[in-house]
């Protein structure tokens, strides 16, 4: 399994799930642009990856994905540095029910913008060579919690948008496969943010419910989510697929009823 000659851009790549996929992409010989808001974490992560994989394979771009101009610039800088773009993972996400408008901006609006920018750089519509996009949703889109109403809404939105744009890609012959990934609970710093009133506002009172769900359903490691992403990247038959990753069923796919009149 090699991605030699391929270039990937991963948002939220400095930590958690994003970091695990950056690592796996480098292991499979892709060049990677790690796009993240957290400059200190991003620079430290890049320094470690340079030691492990050699300089010149990974670049860190400091960027807030909710700033449209900065996100556009991050895509351009990736192509300027590595000469092309083949894989885009719109992964950056937050969990903030207090500043819920920001949650919509980061988790949904930026995923939509990231998808459109990816298409500008990869779609045959723009005379490019094709590629693949993964948008990160959550099992919260299937098993909601009273603790995270707006987070849940954004993750539903990511699935709806991704399935529709994937259809547009296949019908419009864009040459770009676009899929969505829904992890259950994953052991990352984000998961621990559910404990805090600064993030959760009045919904913090449901944190015991949330903790019970974590105990019931278990907590996954980021490396398994990266493995799921690699499958979405490699399997050229997949477009508009909704991959779920849970402790009970591992990596599997959601099935939808065919539409009837």
Ligand X SMILES: CCCCC[C@H](O)/C=C/C=C\C=C\C=C\[C@@H](O)[C@@H](O)CCCC(=O)O
Q: Which stretch binds ligand X (CB under 6 A): 24-32, 73-81, 104-112, 189-197?
A: 189-197
Tokens of 154: 């954004």
Cβ neighbours of residue 8 under 8 Å, at least 6 residues apart?
25, 30, 31, 32, 33, 85, 86, 87, 88, 89
Q: Which stretch binds ligand X (CB under 6 A): 25-33, 55-63, 233-241, 243-251?
A: 243-251
164 binds, among ligand NAD, ligand X, none (CB under 5 to 8 A by kind): none
151 is catalytic: yes
184-213 per-residue burial string, b: 16 or more CB within 10 A, e: under 16: bbbebebbeebeeeebbeebbeeeeebeeb
246: helix, coil or strand? strand
Taking CB under 6 A as the rule, does residue 244 contact ligand X?
Answer: yes
Q: Tell me which residues in 105-144 interact with ligand X (CB under 6 A).
A: 138-140, 143
Select from 57, 52, 55 the least CA-distant residue to 7.
57
103 binds, among ligand NAD, ligand X, none (CB under 5 to 8 A by kind): none
With contacts defined by CB under 6 A, how many residues of the chain interact with ligand X? 18
247 binds, among ligand X, ligand NAD, none (CB under 5 to 8 A by kind): ligand X
Cβ nearer to ligand X, comparing 70 with 100: 100
Cβ nearer to ligand NAD, comparing 175 with 206: 206
The residues of the shown chain that bind ligand NAD, judged by CB under 6 A, are 11-12, 14-18, 36-38, 41, 63-66, 91-94, 106, 136, 138, 183, 185-186, 188-191
Cβ neighbours of residue 16 under 8 Å, at least 6 residues apart?
186, 188, 189, 190, 222
Cβ nearer to ligand NAD, comparing 49 with 128: 49
Catalytically annotated residue among 116, 126, 151, 256? 151
How far is the CA of 113 from the CAs of 22, 86, 213, in angstroms?
21, 17, 32
Beta carbon of residue 88, minimum distance to ligand NAD (angstroms, whole number): 14
143 binds, among ligand NAD, ligand X, none (CB under 5 to 8 A by kind): ligand X
Q: C-alpha angle with apex 77: 56 to 57, nearest 5 degrees?
A: 15
Taking CB under 6 A as the rule, does residue 191 contact ligand X?
Answer: yes
Per-residue DSSP letter, 136: E
Tokens of 261: 């009149």
Residues that bind ligand X (CB under 6 A): 95, 138-140, 143, 183-185, 190-191, 193-194, 217, 244, 246-249
Name the residues annotated as catalytic.
Answer: 151
């Amino acid at each position: 399994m090699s991605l030699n000659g391929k270039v990937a851009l991963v948002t939220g790549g400095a930590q958690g799930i994003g970091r695990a996929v950056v690592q796996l992409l480098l292991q499979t010989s892709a060049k990677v642009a790690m796009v993240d808001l957290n400059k200190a974490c991003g620079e430290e992560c890049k320094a470690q990856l340079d030691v492990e994989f050699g300089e010149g394979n990974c670049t860190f771009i400091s960027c807030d994905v909710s700033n449209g101009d900065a996100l556009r610039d991050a895509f351009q800088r990736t192509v300027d540095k590595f000469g092309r773009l083949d894989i885009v993972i719109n992964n950056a996400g937050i969990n903030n029910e207090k500043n819920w408008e920001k949650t919509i901006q980061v988790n949904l609006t930026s995923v939509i913008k990231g998808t459109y920018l990816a298409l500008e750089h990869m779609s045959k519509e723009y005379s490019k060579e094709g590629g693949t996009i993964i948008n990160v949703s959550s099992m919260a889109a299937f098993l909601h919690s009273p603790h995270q109403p707006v987070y849940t809404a954004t993750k539903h939105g990511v699935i709806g948008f991704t399935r529709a744009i994937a259809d547009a890609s296949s019908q419009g012959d864009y040459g770009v496969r676009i899929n969505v990934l829904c992890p259950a609970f994953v052991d990352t710093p984000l998961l621990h943010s559910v404990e805090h009133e600064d993030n959760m506002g009045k919904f913090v009172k449901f944190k015991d419910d949330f903790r019970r769900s974590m105990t019931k359903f278990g907590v996954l490691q980021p490396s398994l989510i990266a493995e799921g992403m690699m499958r979405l990247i490699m399997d050229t038959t997949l477009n508009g697929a909704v991959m779920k990753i849970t402790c009970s069923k591992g990596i599997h796919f959601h099935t939808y009823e065919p539409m009837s009149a």
